[in-house]
Amino acid sequence: MPAAPVMARSAAVSAFCVFLVLGVLTASLGASLPYLRERFGAEHEVGRVVSAYNLGALAATVCIGLLGRRLNVRAAPPVLLAVFAAGAAGMAASPGWTAYLGCAAVTGIGYGGLALTLNTAFARGFAGNSVVMVNRLNAVFGIGAMLGPLAAGAVGHTDIRLLALAAAVCALPCFLVGRAGAVLAAPEGESGAGASGRRGRIGLQLLPFLLVGLVYAGMETSIGTWQSTQLVRDGWSTQAATTAASGFWAGMAVGRLVLPQLTKRLPGRTTLPGYLAAGLGALALAAVPHLAVVAYPLAGLALAPVLPTLIAWVSGVAEVPQQATSVLTLCCMLGNAVVPAVVGALSGSDGATVIPLVLAGTCLLCLGLAVWLRAARR
């Protein structure tokens, strides 16, 4: 069996920096919507920028999965970093809405490809410590997500496009992330008949996992996208609403540190519906006038462990955990692209209470799917 590949220290540090930038830009998109409306005009459906970004990420994930062994994985990280930086620079230089939307999709391609390849590299590149390192990598993304709305609020009244320019500039020095390709290109630890015997297809028994992942990921993105819009409708200034939106991401960061530790003795089939039920209560509270600023951080706190719990659960029951996790990732990407647009369409331009009620309805749907998943896995 070949020796386990080792991630170069410079590649790991660069990957952490890349994920910080990805977190900042990704979380800032929803918080930027009021400023984008001011910059490009109220006649545009500015929420489409989030869908375009996530559709680009979905396209990258699908293409990488379909290419499989034909993909030059050693070259993938630096190429994807260049795509991300070029797309972000294009967003900064875009003179009109159509160009901005197209560049957001290109940036999303870089984001989705980097998220997939670097998570895979970290999972393979640290031997017995890989699980810890993958969690740390995504924790850095969470820190960036907390900073994203704050950054949008800081530059929004000047020109919101400066945030994309800063992302492009900060991504370029991280070129050493290209060394992560060596880990991706390393031979698998198992091959031939032994490996083929372990291969299996994703069966119908995994369908509930995939549906929960699709709806949940879309709901999480929708909260980050539309909460600042709700606060503006509730009477907050654009800058204050954008800044307050970071509370949801702060709740997510704290929840991922605290709740799994408190519930580690409970199985996923018990904790997953519990997290969603608590999140549903918090989102319902957000419909009460002037309580949204408290309710959304509580929602982030409650919902934070949902996706890691789902990934751990599906990995434990699937014939081929890597395949199941890959398909689950695709479903999450699809949810990120579709659900925010649906939430925006259902919310319309009505009062501030409509947005949290639509989000609560989405959470209720996810809770129902989680209950179905629990019954199906008994």
pLDDT tens figures, 299-317: 999 998 888 778 767 766 7
pLDDT of residue 194: 43
Mean pLDDT of 5-24: 88
pLDDT of residue 53: 92
Q: Which of 92, 102, 239, 70 is nearest to 159 (CA)?
A: 92
How many CB atoms lie under 10 A from the CB of residue 148? 28
Residue 252 scores a pLDDT above 80 = yes
Q: Which of 69-83, 91-105, 308-322 has the lowest mean pLDDT?
A: 308-322
Q: What band does 253 get if pLDDT is binned at 50, 70 and 90?
A: confident
Quick check: 177 and 18 in contact, CB under 8 A? Answer: yes
Residue 298 scores a pLDDT above 80 = yes
Residue 292 scores a pLDDT above 80 = yes
Q: Which of 158-167, 199-208, 264-273 has the lowest mean pLDDT?
A: 199-208
Rounded to whole angstroms, the Cα distance separating 32 from 47 reads 10
Q: What band does 243 get if pLDDT is binned at 50, 70 and 90?
A: confident
Cβ-in-10-Å burial (0-12, 13-18, 19+) of 48 comes to: middle
Q: Which of 22, 30, 12 is nearest to 219 (CA)?
A: 30
Rounded to whole angstroms, the Cα distance separating 101 from 96 reads 9
Mean pLDDT of 14-28: 92
pLDDT of residue 3: 52
Residue 355 scores a pLDDT above 80 = yes
Residue 371 scores a pLDDT above 90 = yes
Q: What band does 192 get if pLDDT is binned at 50, 70 and 90?
A: very low
Note the Cα 134 to chain centre separation in Å. Answer: 14
pLDDT of residue 24: 92
Q: Which residues contact 40 (CB under 8 A, 6 or more apart)?
A: 46, 96, 97, 100
pLDDT of residue 200: 44
pLDDT of residue 141: 87
Rounded to whole angstroms, the Cα distance separating 272 from 276 reads 6
Share of the chain above pLDDT 70, in %: 85
Q: Which of 120-124, 183-187, 208-212, 247-251 has the lowest mean pLDDT?
A: 183-187
Q: What band does 353 get if pLDDT is binned at 50, 70 and 90?
A: confident
Residue 75 scores a pLDDT above 90 = no
Quick check: 85 and 171 in contact, CB under 8 A? Answer: yes
Residue 128 scores a pLDDT above 70 = no
